Amino acid sequence: MTDLQTRPSPAPGESITLTRPQLPGWAPAVAALVAFGLAALVGLLLGWGPVPVVVVGWILLVVALPAWSTAVEGSRKGTDRLVTTVVWTTFAVAMMPLVAVIWEVVSRGAPALSVEFLTFSQDGVLGEGGGIYHAIMGTLIITAIATVISVPIGVLAAIYLIEYGKGSRLARVLTFLVDVMTGIPSIVAGLFALALFTLIFGPGTRMAIGGSIALSVLMIPIVVRATEEMLKLVPDELREASYALGVPKWRTITKVVLPTAIGGIITGVTLAVARVAGETAPLLLIVGTLRSTNFNPFEGSMATLPVLIFSEATRGGLAEYVPFQVERAWGAALVLITIVMLLNVIARVLGSFFAPKTGR
C-alpha cells in the first residue's frame, strides 16, 4: 500500500504564513548608501572623478538590491525591484538636462531682471542699460497673430480628416503632407515667408506679419496632429447616440465631439505655441530686429526675444565678448522660458475647466 503522508494540522492558536518575508521600507536607501559608499571609497583609492564613481555606484545598486530582494522575497519581487531601479534611473537621467538648463538660465538670467529691464526698450541705448520690453511685446504680437491664423485652420483640417474624410484618398494624402510639414526645418518656413513677401512687396521687405505667417506654417501641422489624436479618442457611441436623436452632423461635432476633446485640443495648441515661441531663424529672415518698440505688425521690423538673445549673445555675429550684453541675453532667455511656462499653466487650467465633467 502507498503511504500517503499529510502535513500535520497546525496546533490551536498557531498561524500559517502565506507570504514570504519582505524587505523593510528603508532597504533601497540602505542599498544605495552602501553601493555609492563603496564606489566612493574605490574612487578615492584609484583617483576617479565623480562620473566614474556615480556609474560604478549605480552598477553596484542595480546588482545588489535585486539580489538582496531575490534572496529574501523571491525571484518575482527581485525582478520587480530591478525594473523599478532601472526606470527610476532613466527618469533621473532624463531630468538631468532639464534641471541643468533651468539652473543655468535662472542663475545667469536672474541678476539681469529688474523693473527697468522689463519695462524699457533699447531705444537710444548705446551701451549698458535699457531693457527688453520691445522684444517681449514683439514676441507676444507675432505669436498671437500666428496662433489666430493657425488654430482655426488646424482644428478645421483635423475635423475634416476625422469626421468627414476618414478613410478617403484625399485624407490619406493630407495626413501624409501634414506629417511631412511637421518635420520641416524652421528656416524653410522663414524662406517661404520671405519669398512670398518679396513677390508681393518687393525685396528687402521686413514685416512682423511675415514672421507670423512663417510661424503659422510651423504651427498648423502640430495643431492638426494634436487635434486629430484628440478627436480619435472621442467614443463613437457619443456620435451614434447624437445621430440617433436626429442631430445633424455639424451640430454633433460642435456640441458633442469638440466639447469632449476640448481639453486635449487646448493642450495641443499650447504645445504648438511653445514650439514656435522660441524660433529664431524665420524671424531673422523676414522680421529682422529693432531696438525700439513697434506695435504695428504691418509696417517695419519688430524685435522678438529669440532674435534679441541671438543678437546680444553674439553681438551681431562678432566674436567679441561683452559681459553686459551676455547678461542681457540670459535675462531675455529667462523671460522667454517664463512665458512658455505660463502658457503651459494656462493650458492646464483651461483644459481642466473646459473638459467634460464625469461626476454628477
Q: How far is the C-alpha of 50 from the C-alpha of 56, rounded, in Å?
A: 10
Cα 272 to Cα 124, 165, 220, 230, 359: the distances in Å are 35, 24, 8, 15, 31
The confidence score (pLDDT) of residue 1 equals 46
Average pLDDT of the residues in 99-120: 89
Contacts of 184 (CB under 8 A, 6+ apart): 217, 218
For residue 189 the three cell numbers come to: 518656413
Q: How far is the C-alpha of 266 from the C-alpha of 268, rounded, in Å?
A: 5
Q: Is the pLDDT of residue 293 over 70?
A: yes
Q: Is the pLDDT of residue 164 over 80?
A: yes
pLDDT band per the 50, 70, 90 thresholds, residue 279:
confident
Closest CA to 178 of 233, 138, 224, 139: 224
Q: How far is the C-alpha of 127 from the C-alpha of 118, rounded, in Å?
A: 17
Contacts of 282 (CB under 8 A, 6+ apart): 186, 187, 189, 190, 193, 211, 214, 215, 218
Q: Is the pLDDT of residue 153 over 90?
A: yes
Q: Are 135 and 304 in contact (CB under 8 A)?
A: yes
CATH of 116-354, one of 1.10.760.10, 3.40.50.300, 3.40.1710.10, 1.10.3720.10: 1.10.3720.10
Residues of the chain with CATH 1.10.3720.10: 116-354
| Residue pLDDT, tens place only, 117-151 | 888 888 877 777 788 899 999 999 999 999 999 99
| Residue pLDDT, tens place only, 336-346 | 999 888 888 88
The confidence score (pLDDT) of residue 346 equals 81
Q: Are 336 and 139 in contact (CB under 8 A)?
A: yes
Closest CA to 335 of 312, 319, 314: 312
pLDDT band per the 50, 70, 90 thresholds, residue 321:
low
The confidence score (pLDDT) of residue 25 equals 80
For the chain, the 3-state helix, strand and coil shares in percent, each to the nearest 5, are 70, 0, 30
Is this structure's pTM higher than 0.85?
Answer: no
Average pLDDT of the residues in 319-347: 83
Ramachandran sector of residue 229 (left: φ over 0; alpha: ψ -120 to 50; beta: rest) = alpha
Q: What are phi and psi of 188, to 5 degrees?
A: -65, -40
| Residue pLDDT, tens place only, 33-76 | 988 889 888 888 888 888 888 888 888 888 888 888 888 888 88
The confidence score (pLDDT) of residue 214 equals 92
3-state secondary structure at position 85: helix
What proportion of the chain, given as a percentage, has pLDDT over 70?
A: 91
Q: Is the pLDDT of residue 211 over 50?
A: yes
Q: How far is the C-alpha of 264 from the C-alpha of 176, rounded, in Å?
A: 22
Average pLDDT of the residues in 203-212: 88
Closest CA to 132 of 328, 283, 342, 352: 328
Q: Are 285 and 186 in contact (CB under 8 A)?
A: no
Round to the nearest angstrom and report the end-to-end CA distance of the chain. 69
pLDDT band per the 50, 70, 90 thresholds, residue 12:
low
Q: Is the pLDDT of residue 357 over 60?
A: yes
**How many CA atoms are closer than 13 Å to the CA of 333, on its beta-carbon side?**
22
The confidence score (pLDDT) of residue 15 equals 54
